[in-house]
Structures are given as C-alpha cells and as structure tokens.
Amino acid sequence: MPCPTSEQRPKVVITGAAGMLGSALLALAPAPVRVVGVDLAEGDLSDPEGARRALAPRRPQVVIHCAAFTDVDGCTRDPERAFLHNATATGNVARLCAQLGARLVMISTDYVFDGTKGSPYTEQDPTNPLNAYGDSKLAAERLAAEELGDLLIVRTQWLYGPGGRNFVASIVSRAREEGRVRVVADQWGSPTYTRDLAAALWQGALSQAHGIVHLTNQGVATWADLAERALAAAGLETATVERISSADWPTPTKRPRYSVLDNSRWARLGFTPLRPWTEAVEEYVKTFL
C-alpha cells in the first residue's frame, strides 16, 4: 500500500504548544499527522488578528486548543485577564475554525462544577463554577459551541507531567529539600498524567467524536494521597506528609471539594480508558524526577 502524501495526511495545529500538555501532544503526535505547534510568539489568541496570524496561514484541518491562563489563583486576582485569555481567545479560535472548515478540540476543566454532588460528575450534570478560572472556562465552552458544530470539548483535571510546573514535581522537590510537606487531604479528584491524556486526545481529535467528554486517569485521590504515592515512587518514604484541611492552606480561590469526573462516555465512544493514576504517577516520577 502506498504511503500517504503530505497533502493526504491531516494537518493539526496545537495551541499552547510550549505548555505542559501542548508539549506532550507534540511529542506523541502519531506518524500520519502533520503537526504544527503555535504559542504566543505566533500570535496572541485573545486578539482576533493575533489569532488569525497564528492559525489562518497554517490551514489546519484540526486545532487542539490547549492555550489557556491556568494559574487558578491568578485568575481569581485578575478575572478580566482570565476571561480574555480563556474565553475570548477560545471564541476567536472557534470562529477561525468555522471559517477554515477545521475541527476543534478544546481542553476544559473540572472547575466548571462546584464539587457538591458527592459522586463523579457526568457530562450532563449542571455546571456551577466556584471561581474565576471555572467561570472563564465554562464561558469558553459556550463560546466555542456557538461558533461551530465540529467540536469536541474535553474536560480533565489535576494535570502533571514533564515540561511545566505541577504539583507532583513541586512536592517531590520540597520533600527532597525539607523532608516534610503539608498537603490538603479534603479535596478529591483524579490526578491525570499529561502524556496519557495526550495520547488519548490524539485518538479523540482524529475521530468523529463531538460534544463534551470527561477524560482523566482512573481512580480517586486527595492531594495528600497523590503526594504520598509520588514520594514513595521517588524513594522518599522517610519524608513526612502532614495531612491538613483546606482551611489550613488559605488561598484566594474557592475550590470544589469533590470534582471527580465520570469517564464512562469516553468508553461508550469506543475508546480505551486511561490507566489508573497510581501507575501513571509512578512512571512520571521515576522517568522524569
């Protein structure tokens, strides 16, 4: 069978390519794909003309939109900036995708929920963000849906991986330096490894799946559970993890207590669920830390 020409291979643009998830997507791009990464150097997506400069000349068939202002406390301090870089930018990207006839895969968050349900959230559950980050990402989802139909919104949570600042790397570094860490033990989620998520995102991006889907590594943990597993993988069993309440770790941002995402729609679409978070964090720590 002849190899496909470059014109026959789908062209995919990844926004936020310098970030933790974007860099994982670039590293794990499947062979049949022509992939291009763009970041701020190519254009400010919150500006319509900047978004056009970044995307239009590349004529993508698919855009995986990872670019975002993800500093949750930063969003709380500056909600206008959060809306600009999360919602307005996504609207600009979606509008260009509609004009170019491109499919859009948008990365969203568990923070669109308030964490009061007490069981894993499905895609049909009512949203109710508690903070500016969640507000801005929910607005991004809605703006994208207004602009085009060929849209896959992927909500995920608690990301860590190579190529960016993250909780796991920070906790291992602090434990190595101090031998003791204080970690919140009354917030629950599903820690998600960017390289596992990226591999799955490629499957979703190149499929016909659309709408909203939840996608995380399997299993539930508190931040303290994640810290203990990471330190064990790093050979730091003697380091102390002090389990504390959210009230003992004051931040300007109100966060959902239980924002675990139900991944069953991903499985119903015919995709393989991601592996347990415990396996993924062990691989990350042993390989990259």
Q: Is the pLDDT of residue 2 over 80?
A: no
CATH number of 11-157+192-218+261-275: 3.40.50.720
Every domain of the chain and the residues it spans? 11-157+192-218+261-275
Structure-token match 């691989």, residue found? 283
Average of per-residue pLDDT values in the chain:
96
Flag whether the pTM goes above 0.85. Answer: yes
Check residue 86 and give its pLDDT: 98
Tens-digit pLDDT profile for residues 175-191: 999 999 999 999 999 99
Token pair of 195 as six digits = 């390289």
Q: How far is CA 31 from CA 27, 40, 175, 217, in A?
A: 11, 26, 39, 24
When computed from its CA atoms, the radius of gyration of the chain, rounded to whole angstroms, is 19
Tens-digit pLDDT profile for residues 85-105: 999 999 999 999 999 999 999
160 is catalytic: no
b/e 169-202 (16+ beta carbons within 10 angstroms → b): bebbebbeeeeebebbbbbbbbbbbbbbbbbbbb
Q: List the catalytic residue out of 133, 160, 193, 258.
A: 133
